[in-house]
Structure formats: C-alpha cells, structure tokens
A and B are shown apart, each in its own frame.
Chain A
Amino acid sequence: MHRFFAPQARRRPALLPVTAILALFLTSCSGAAIEPTEQFDSFGEVLSAADGQTVDLWMFGGDAKGNAYVDETLAPAVREQGITLRRVPIADTPDALNRVLSELQAGRDDGSVDLVWANGPTFSTGRQAGAWRCGWTDLLPNMQFTDPDDPLLLDDFGAPVDGCEAPWHKAQFTFFYNSDAIADPPTSLQGILDWAEANPGRFTYPGPPDFTGSVFLREVMVSAAGGADQVPLTYSEQAFDDHAPAALQALRDLAPSLWREGDTYPRDEQALNTLFANGEVDIAMTYGPATLTELVASGALPPSTKVLTLEEGTVGNASFLALPVNAADAAGAMVVANIALSPEQQAAKADLDMWGQFTVLDTELLSPAQQSLFERLPESPIVPDYEELSRNTHGELAAEWVPALDEAWRQDIASAP
C-alpha cells in the first residue's frame, strides 16, 4: 500500500505551480469577445466564399422526420450549390449553444458549429453572451417572401431578431385528447384544468424545465391573468410578482387531481405521449402538432387522438436558424439558410409526409406557381390547417420569464412535500 502511494505523494508539490499556471491561462481566456472574421456586402460574395464549404447544422436529433428531411431533401439541394450539409444531432438545443460558448471561451474563431436550429430561450441566451452573428439575414434573397411585419419573425421570445437568425418554420402549441375517453372536450385552458379536477389522475403535464412543460406553465399563467394581453411581454420582478403566484396557486391546487396525485411529473413530451398512448391520461400537449399525424399513423398514439383547439387560442412561435459568431463556414451557413427559406424547400417541409412544419413565408408574396406548391399539399385527418390551429394565437413572452417561472415551479410545486 505504502509503496503505491509514495511516488504520488512525492510528486504532489509539483502540482501546485502547474495548477496555478493553468488557472492563469484559463482565466486569461474568459470573456474574450470575438468578431466575425469575414464580412459580406452582397449575396454574390457569400456564394463565392461558400463554394466547397462543409456546413455543420446542429439540431435536435430526436425527430426522425426532421432528420430525414434535412438529410434527404435539404442536403441534396444544398449540394447543388457546392456546399456539403452535415447534420449534427443533439439531445437538447442548449447543447449547441454550450459548445459555441465553450469555444468562444477558449478563444476559437474557427468554431465547429456553423448553424443552429435555435429555440427562443437559446437564442436569447446566445444574444446575451454575444454568441450570434447579427445583421446577415438581409443578404438572403429568399427573405423577400416573408412578411416584414410578421410579429413572429420580428421577435423571438421577446428578443428582437435583428437579423441574427433566419426564420425556418412556425409552430403552434396544441392540446390533443383521446376522443374515446372524452366525448365533450373542454374548449378553454381553464376548461382543461376544470376537467382535470373533475377526472382525478387523468391529466398531467411534463415537468418544467422541459420545453413543453414550460410552455404549459406559461399558458396557465396567461390564462389565470385573464388573457395574453394582460401579461407584459417583457420580464420584470414586478410583473412576475403580479402574475406568477396565481398560476402557481392554480397548479398547486390542481396537483392532487393529477396523474400520481402530482407526486411526480413526466420527464418530457415523449414520456407524456407514452402515458397518453397507454391510456393513463386523456389529454396531452405538444409544440409540434405536425408530428401527430405520423404518430397516429405509426400507432404510437391511438387512432382516437383528436386535436383540441381552444377558444382563446394558444401560443405560437417561429423557430430559426442561428449563425454563431465564430462559425468556420459562415458563408456556407448563409447559403443553407437561404435555400431552407426557398418556397420549394418550405413547401416540401410543410408536406405532412415529409415533416409537416408550417411555413414562415407569406404565401401571398409568392408567384402563382410557387403558391400552387403549397396548395397541392395533402390535408391531415387529425391536424387542422395552420389557419385554424393559430386562430387567436398570441406570441411568446420574453425569454427571461422562462427560467424564472421554471425555478418557481420547481421550488413551489415539485419540491413541495
């Protein structure tokens, strides 16, 4: 024993200076601000710089149809421009930002992340840290097909987009129910909560900070406040104190009537879907209603699944492709974002058999030939079209609301004895 420990004990003093040097080295890197190395004045310059580049698109890898769309439809279209598109699957969108931030911290200006399918909170965190390249989407020719006044494209979770990310598709928060179990479904969020109380154990929601559970929490807050126009979009402690307690109280009162008496919550949307498919709960929710058609067709959800639209509407958002400030293949990434915005790609992506994501384009700005691409799309037997889903929709609150509410939920509800 002694013999084994002796050499290490002898070397230990040498460790101190080593760690001290490392500490110096590491601290000296922190907070280094990196400017994009290449600047472009026109899309022509972008195209010529992009030739031969390999673009790494980091995106949530848990959606098989999304993966297939990128690999089999978007990537070949990009290749025609001489660019290779490589999809990097990640478990959760913040992972991509984490990588960017770590590389920025290490002072790398040839970052390995070229494009991120970002969600609102990730985008806003990245903006806070200066991780995104800004003002580049004006260069993209296909931006002309988007409505310049579309509120969903101007703000992403309350953070101004400012050309720091290119729109990709729209999403609408949607509830769905089992029509075999519920003959007369509720028509408002308050109605859903009342239904849950009247039917103990038949409803639950994913525990925040899961993305879907977090949205539900905000929807309850908006509903408890009396509508989307009652809650200020920008976060302040005052606004939080005005509106969060009512939502938390409502959920605390509801907890005993939830699945497993609210002792625990499903981990994420997939876990909730499993409960729904096993007939343990009768109402579930998703921010990606387009997936429902496929989930029912494949048998992952029962055929009696029906979409539940609310009178007061639900929250909607657009998701974007963001370009890290230190991306090694920035020009290529811009070309990819432009192709992804083209009417052909947007229509292909909106096809339910392909991915079923709602387009960010304003179809009235398209030529008749381009419009017909969208008109030819098949209709889903389960999901109504975007017009109906997004009726009375409201935008997302500012991203600062998200961690504040999630943490309050964890303290007040999940940790309650």
Chain B
Amino acid sequence: MTSRMTPGTGHAALLALPAVLPIVVVLAVSLVAAALQSLGLMPFIGPPQLSGDAWTGDVQTLVRSGLASVYIASISTVLSLAVGFVLAAYVLTMPRMGRLVETLSAATIPIPHLIGAGAIGLLLSDSGFLDRLLGMPDSFPALVAGPGFLAVIAEYAWKESAFVALVVLGSISRSVGDLCDAAATLGATAGQRILRVVLPLAVPSLAISAVIVFVYTLGSYEAAWLLGPVSPEPLPVRAVRLFGSVDLAARPQAMATALVTVAVSAVAILAVVFLLRRFRSLR
C-alpha cells in the first residue's frame, strides 16, 4: 500500500480534503453525540450518568425492528437489482424502444420518495385506485399497512430499480457494445451475450448500487412510516417515534436505535467492499 504513495496521491488527497473534511466532522459529531445520548451522558435533565438501559432495556423490540428493517431492505434491494438489470439489458439490446425506457427510468429518479410513497398509497390502499379499478373486491390484499410491508417494498423497488438501471448503463454502455458485437460474430445468442458479457461487466456497478440501495432503504423513514403497519416498526420509524416521544427518557433509546441502523449499514458496506475485492482478484 505504501509503495503506491507517490507524491501524486498526496496531492489528490489534498484536493479531496474540502469534500472529505465536512463529511468526517459532521459524521463524527453526530455519531459521538448519538452515542453519548444513548449512554445517558447527554441528558436533557439531571446529571449525566452512564447507563446501558437504552441498549439492553428492550432488546426484543430492538431486534424485531432490526429484522423488519433488514427484511425490507434486502427484498427491496434484490428486486431493484433484478428489475434494474433487466431494464439495462433491454435498453442495451433494443436501441429505439430502449431509449424510451431509459428516459422513463431517468424521469423516475427526481420524484421524491415521500411523493412516491404517497402515490403508491393512493394506488394500492384498500379503496385505493387499483381496488376501485378492480371493482372493490372484498379479497383485495392488505398491501398498505398490512403484514409483509408489501407497499413499502413496492415503492422502494420501483424507485430504486430505475436508479440501478441508470448506474449500470452509465458504467458499461461504452465498453459493452464492441464486446457484444464480437460475441455475436463468434455465434453467441442474445441470451448468451446478456449472461456471459453484459452481466459480468455489470457486476461491480450492480454491487455498488446494491449497497447504496440497501443502506438507503435501511435508513429511510418516510415510505416505511407512511405505508407500513403500526407494528413491527422498522428501525428508522422507531427511532423517529422515540425521538419525538413526550417521554424524555425515550431519547437515549431513539439514539440507540439510530446507532443500530448505522451499524447494520456499516456491516453491509464492508461486506460489499470485501466481496468486490475478492471478485476483482478472481478476474
């Protein structure tokens, strides 16, 4: 590692400083403050007193919230990757219709999640648009506020698949054309070209976008709050509820919940970085 430390990198590090420094400072301050509050060292009233109650007091609910969040984030990520990759492959293989699909995907990106969640709510709730379109059947499933967080996952999968498609397209569209042509000349079918050429090229960008989508959906509040059931609560919803609670003693628990979210996200990021390195060294 040190052998690569040429004067050039020192220069590059200096250039990155204005971007990195605020991030590090803001992150450090908020994480330290959250940790101190969760341990009772920054109370609103009374003297600071070290206590692990916020962490150990209600482990069962905290774990349930964690599982709910990981469940939502995992399913949303898998769906976004699958749909996003298919979208990207379609855009690459169908020049004209592909352009249209690409534009539609790009148009999805600037819609705020809150608006997206509201729209999904209007579409999927009982007596929502879809229910009315189908003539209000009694058997309409409880998608919004029902078990399984289906409407929440639908919202994330819809928004994030467009994001995944654009990231994949941006990273491989330049190189993939020639390689596909070469494969086609050598007799590869369309299916083979997608699986043997496009997919391997797309793996790094898929992995990066997977971790972005996972971490985002894990920490995201609005859709889970608006479209999810009252219980179990995903981590961010629990954290915000406890933070706003009229009971000041709930504040440390809110901070502990937020820090659990950070920890799970950190594990996900490290795992993907590790896997990507393995993948690169294999090639």
Contacts and interface: CB of A to CB of B under 8 A. Distances in A.
B248 A124 contact: no
A15 B244 contact: no
Interface stretch (B170-178, B193-201, B225-233): B225-233
Interface stretch (A218-226, A245-253, A261-269, A317-325): A261-269
Interface string A1-28: 1110011111100010011001100110
A7 B9 contact: yes
A209 interface: yes
B246 A125 contact: yes
B48 A31 contact: yes
Interface string B18-35: 001000110011001100
B66 to A, nearest CB: 15
B127 A278 contact: yes
Contacts of A92: 244
B246 A403 contact: yes
Interface stretch (B37-45, B75-83, B85-93, B256-264): B37-45
A316 interface: no
Contact of A263 (B32, B61, B229, B276): B229
A415 B246 contact: no
Interface string B230-274: 111000000001011111101000000000000000000000000
A92 B4 CA distance: 54
B160 interface: no
A6 B5 contact: yes
A288 to B, nearest CB: 19
A206 B145 CA distance: 12
A1 B28 CA distance: 24
B230 A2 contact: no
A376 to B, nearest CB: 39
A30 B43 contact: yes
Contacts, number: 117
A353 interface: no
Contact of A2 (B1, B231, B246, B250): B1
A202 to B, nearest CB: 14
A15 B146 contact: no
A129 B244 contact: no
A61 to B, nearest CB: 15
B24 A15 contact: yes
A317 B232 CA distance: 32
B147 interface: yes
B44 A26 contact: no
B46 interface: yes
A128 B61 CA distance: 27
Contact of A415 (B13, B25, B231, B245): B231
Given A31-B46, A280-B127, A410-B231, A26 B36 contact: yes
Contact of B280 (A1, A9, A10, A260): A1
A101 B43 CA distance: 10
Interface string A196-212: 00000000000101000
B250 to A, nearest CB: 7
A412 B62 CA distance: 16
Question: For chain B, which range describes its interface: under 10, 10 to 19, 20 to 34, or 35 or more residues?
Answer: 35 or more
Contact of B145 (A31, A267, A279): A267
Contacts of A122: 246
B229 A264 contact: yes
A2 B239 CA distance: 36
Nearest to B28: A19
B245 A27 contact: no
Interface string A254-275: 0000001001111100000000
B41 A263 contact: no
B231 A121 contact: no
Give the dominant DSSP class at A's interface: helix
Contacts of B61: 415
Contacts of A26: 29, 32-33, 36, 42
B32 A98 contact: no
B241 to A, nearest CB: 7
Nearest to B31: A19
Interface residues of A, number: 49
B247 A125 contact: yes
B230 to A, nearest CB: 4
Contacts of B10: 7
B277 A101 contact: no
Contacts of A402: 246
A344 interface: no
B77 to A, nearest CB: 22
Contacts of B47: 31
A402 B10 CA distance: 58
Interface in A105-137: 105, 121-122, 124-125, 128-130
A343 interface: no
Given A128-B45, A414-B231, A15 B4 contact: no
B123 interface: no
A105 B277 CA distance: 44
Given A3-B9, A22-B32, A105-B44, A98 B280 contact: no
B164 to A, nearest CB: 21
Given A94-B246, A280-B127, A399-B246, A207 B230 contact: yes
A375 interface: no
Nearest to A23: B32
Interface in B100-133: 126-127
Nearest to A12: B24
B8 to A, nearest CB: 9
B20 A129 contact: no
Contacts of A415: 61, 64, 231-232
Contacts of B42: 26-27, 30, 105
Interface string A65-108: 00000000000000000000000000010110010010011000
B4 A209 contact: no
A50 to B, nearest CB: 29
B12 interface: yes
Given A18-B25, A27-B36, A30-B41, 13 more contacts: A11-B24, A22-B28, A26-B42, A30-B44, A31-B43, A94-B244, A104-B44, A125-B246, A209-B245, A264-B146, A280-B126, A414-B230, A414-B231
